[in-house]
């Protein structure tokens, strides 16, 4: 590996032998075991879910949108508890407000 060290103003090179073993036994492997990765995946899923909720809301499919909001709230709460991420805790509240809005819309149509 070679890179330019901005602080030292010089090129640094490092060589090391690395070995890896390929295995076909990946059963039970969870790619999001790392909390930071799980947090980032949850943020991405939440963004995609909010887009889907909006699409369903615009189509008048409030119950389907509500179910997505419930699932997103569950995931966000779980990850917020594991990571102690304050923004995710706030997002749990956002999903609860989404659910209330969708429930109100559903009641108005029935």
Return the HEC string of the chain. CEEEECCCCEEEECCCCCCCCCCCCCCCCCCCCCHHHHHHHHHHHHHHHHHHHHHHHHCCCHHHHHHHHHHHHHHHHHHHHHHCCHHHHHHHHHHHHHHHHHHHHHHHHC
pLDDT confidence of residue 26: 65
pLDDT higher than threshold 90 for residue 97 = yes
Question: What's the pLDDT tens digit per position in 49-85?
Answer: 999 999 999 999 999 999 999 999 999 999 999 999 9
Q: pTM of the full predicted structure?
A: 0.71
């Amino acid at each position: 590996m070679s890179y330019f060290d901005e602080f030292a103003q010089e090129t640094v090179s490092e060589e090391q032998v690395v070995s890896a073993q390929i295995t076909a036994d990946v059963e039970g492997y969870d790619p999001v075991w790392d909390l930071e990765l799980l947090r980032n995946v949850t943020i991405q899923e939440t963004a995609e879910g909010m887009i889907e909720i909006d699409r369903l809301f615009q189509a008048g499919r409030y119950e389907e949108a509500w179910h997505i909001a419930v699932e997103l709230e569950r995931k966000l709460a779980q990850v917020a508890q594991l990571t102690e991420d304050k923004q995710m805790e706030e997002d749990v509240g956002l999903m609860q407000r989404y659910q209330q809005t969708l429930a109100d819309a559903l009641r108005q149509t029935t």
